[in-house]
Amino acid sequence: MSSYTKPAPNFDLSSPSPAYTLASGDKMPIIAYGTFRSNPGEVGPAVIEALKAGYRHLDLAHVYGNEEEIGKALKQAFDEGIVTRDELFITGKLWNSDHGVDIVPQAAAHSLNNLQLDYFDLYLIHFPVCWKHTGLATPGWGASELGDTPLIDTWRAMEDLVEKGVCKNIGVSNYPMMVMHDLVTQAKIQPVCNQIEVHAYYQRESLVNYCSSRNICVTAHTPLGGGALNSETWDTPIPLKDDIILEIAKKHGKSPAQVLLRSLLQRGIVILPKSVKPHRMAENKDILDFSLTETEMKKIATLDKYVSYKTNPNPLSSFMGGPDAFSKMGTDIFD
C-alpha cells in the first residue's frame, strides 16, 4: 500500500485576499457570498451590502428563484462604481431538470439574461439527487428530475459553453465519489470544482482528498451544517452549538461560526456562508486574522458524525492502495 499523502491547500491564507488557483489558472476568492434561501425583496439589497463588505465571489443559481433581482443589484453596483464586472467571480448552476443537451445552452443564456451578464466565471452541473422538482426551473426545459440524458452528454454540452465563451470554467455540485471518478476519467475539459455539503459534522475526507489531489476545488455550500434553520426544521444537532466548537471559539475570542469557517479553510476548502444581515456578512469574512492549532483541528475532526442532511452515503471503503488511497482504511467510493 502506498503511503498516505494528504493534498495541500491550494491557496495562501496569509494573503490579504486569498484565492484558489483553479486548474484553468483563474483565481477564485475563497470566501464566497451565498444567495440560497434569500427571499424576494431582500436578496438585492443583501448582494449590494455583500459587495460593500468586500465579497467578490457570488454563488448563484436559477433554481433559487432570485436571479432577476440579483441582476438588478449587480447593475446598480456597476453603475454606482461599487465594483466592476472584472473584479467579480460569478458562479451559476444548471438545475436537475435542465440536463438535456439542447437545454444546457438555453438554461445558461436564460440565467445570464436574468443577471444582465455576458458570461459566468464558473458554471456547475447540479447532481440529480432523488427529490421532487421544485417548480423553480424554467417550465418545459427538462424532462424530469432525474432526466433521460446521460451525465457525460450533459458534460459535453457544458464543455461547449467553455469553447463558446459562455463560461470560463465548468464544474459540478453534489457529485459523490463514484460519479466524480466517472466524470474525471471521461471529461475533455476537467471539472475545476465540486460544490458539496461539507462541515464539521459531515467531513467527507475521502471525497475532499480525491478532488484536492486533482486540483478540483472543493467548495462547502453548507459550511455551518445548515445552521439554526436545520435545527429548527428537523430538530437535528448543529456544529454551531457543539461544546468543542464553543470552547475553541471562546479561546480565540471568535464566534462558533468563525471557528467552523476557519477550520474548512485550513482543510483547503472554499466556503460560501449565507446571511442577509450586514453584521453577519462582516463576521463571516473576518476569519483571516487567527489560526486553529493542529490540536484544535484534530478535536474538530473527532466531531464527524458521517451524517448528511441531504444524502445517505454508504460507508464502504475502496481504492485500497495506489494514488487514491488517502488513508490506511482506503477511500470511500460512496462519499
The binding site consists of: 126
Give CA–CA dist 4/14, Å, rounded: 26
- Binding positions for substrate are 126
Q: How far is CA 38 from the centre of its chain?
A: 16
64 is catalytic: yes
CB atoms within 10 A of CB 265: 22
Contact 72, 96 (CB under 8 A): no
The single-letter code of the amino acid at 62 is H
Q: Which entry of 64, 123, 201, 210 is annotated as an active-site residue?
A: 64
Residue 43: which residues within 8 A CB-CB, separation 6 or more?
35, 66, 69, 70, 73, 276
Residue 170 near residue 184 (C-beta atoms within 8 A): no
Helices (H), 26-102: 43-52, 67-79
Q: What span, in angstroms and rounded, lies between the C-alpha atoms of 46 and 52?
A: 10
How far, in Å, CA of 120 to CA of 8, rounded?
Answer: 27
By the 10 Å C-beta count (0-12 exposed, 13-18 middle, 19+ buried), 105 is classed as middle
Write phi, then psi, for 318 (nearest 5 degrees).
-145, -165
Residues serving a catalytic function are: 64
